Amino acid sequence: MDELDLAVVRDGFFTRQHAKAAGYADREITTMVRRKEWHRVRRGAYAPAAMWAELDDVGRHRVRSSAVLHALGPRVALSHASGVVRHDIDLWRVPLDRVHVTRLDGGPGRIEGDVVHHEGFVGHDDIVEVNGQRVVRPERCVLETASRIDTEAAWCLLDSGLRSTRFDREQLDAAYSIMEHWPFMRRVGTVLPFADGRSGSIGESRGAAMFKRYGVPRPILQYEVRRPDGTLAGITDWAWPQFGLLGEFDGRVKYGRLLKPGQEPGDVVFEEKRREDELRELTRSMMIRFIWSDYDRPAESIERLFRAMRRAG
C-alpha cells in the first residue's frame, strides 16, 4: 500500500503534497483529474474517483469535512450540519453543500468558498474529539442545525439525535436553555417538546410531525403487542388504542434490513403479513400503513387516517 492509499484509508482523501511525495508532478496531478481517475474534493485535496462515485451525499460531506479540518488546523472545529455528520446522526433535507466550522481562535464569521465559518462563544466543554477530529458537542450541533432548517426537518433531526444516544433528553434541554436566545433558535423551541428518540427512523419522525400538524391525537410510539403467554408478538411504530388502530411506516430499507441469509424479499413480505395478522387479531385493531409518497400528500393521508379511526372506533 503506497502513501496515497494510506492517506485515503486514514482520512478518505490525499493532498497535493501527498501526491508530490509519491512522485507525481503538478502536470501529472492535473492529468489524473482530467482523466477522472482522481476526483478533486476541494482545493489541494483529492480522492480516487471510483471511491468517490460510491459515496452518498453524507459520505462525500464527511470526506470534505476532513479535508477542511486538515487545511484549517486547530483554529476551528466541525459544527452545525458538519458536526451532525461527524457524530453519525441521521439527517434529512439538510443542505450539505458547504462544510460548517466554528472558530476557536476568535476569527470572524464568513463564507469562504465551500466553508461556512461561524463565530460564537465556545467553552472548553463544548468541544469533543471524534476519531481524532475536533467537533462541537452533538447536542449543540443538532440544535444549531435545527435552527436553520424547516420545522419538519428539524423535528426529524432532533428525533435522530436522541435516537443516536449521543446525548439524552436532559442534555438536549440543558443545551437549549443556554442557546434559546441565540439567532434563529426560538423556532426550535416550538418543536423541541415533541422530540422523541423512540421514533425508529426519519420516516417515523415525518409521520409524527404530520400527525401533530393536522391535529391527530398523539400516538403511542413503539407500541408493544404481547401474546396471552406474555411473549412479544411485535412492536408497531404507532398506536391509538383508544381508536383500535395500529400504524406503521413502510420504507424500502425496512424490508432489506429484515432479510435473513438466503431469504428473498417476497419471503419477508409474507412474514410481515403474518405478523400484521397476528397483531390485529391480538389487539382487535385495524392497521394503517404509510409510505414515503404519502407524506407528499398529507391532507389526503390524514383523511385516510381519520377514516380508519372512525371505522375502527
Query: What's the pLDDT tens digit per position in 108-138?
Result: 999 999 999 999 889 889 999 999 999 999 9
Distance CA 282, CA 168 (A): 34
Largest Cα–Cα separation, the chain:
75
Residues paired with 179 in a beta bridge: none
Cα 219 to chain centroid, rounded:
23
Structure confidence at residue 110 (pLDDT): 96
Distance CA 59, CA 66 (A): 11
User: Does residue 252 carry a pLDDT above 80?
Assistant: no
Structure confidence at residue 312 (pLDDT): 82
CB 90 within 8 A of CB 164: yes
DSSP string, 133-147: EEEE-HHHHHHHHHT
Q: Mean of the pLDDT values across residues 44-57?
A: 98
Q: Mean of the pLDDT values across residues 153-157?
A: 98
Residue 262 — pLDDT band, cuts 50, 70, 90? low
How does the average pLDDT of the chain come out, rounded? 93
Phi, psi of 39 (to 5 degrees): -110, 130
Residues paired with 239 in a beta bridge: 220, 246
Residue 268 — pLDDT band, cuts 50, 70, 90? low
Structure confidence at residue 256 (pLDDT): 45
Distance CA 306, CA 243 (A): 10
Q: Mean of the pLDDT values across residues 245-262?
A: 66
**Eight-state DSSP code of residue 105:** S
Q: What are 199's three cell numbers?
A: 421514533
User: Does residue 148 carry a pLDDT above 70?
Assistant: yes
Any idea which of 60-64, 92-96, 139-143, 186-190 has the lowest mean pLDDT? Answer: 186-190
Alpha helix positions (H), the chain: 3-11, 16-21, 26-34, 49-54, 57-72, 80-86, 138-146, 151-164, 169-179, 186-189, 202-213, 252-258, 265-283, 298-312
User: Does residue 24 carry a pLDDT above 50?
Assistant: yes
Residue 251 — pLDDT band, cuts 50, 70, 90? confident
Cα 141 to chain centroid, rounded:
12
Q: Mean of the pLDDT values across residues 204-213?
A: 98
Structure confidence at residue 258 (pLDDT): 45
Q: Mean of the pLDDT values across residues 3-16?
A: 94
Structure confidence at residue 263 (pLDDT): 44
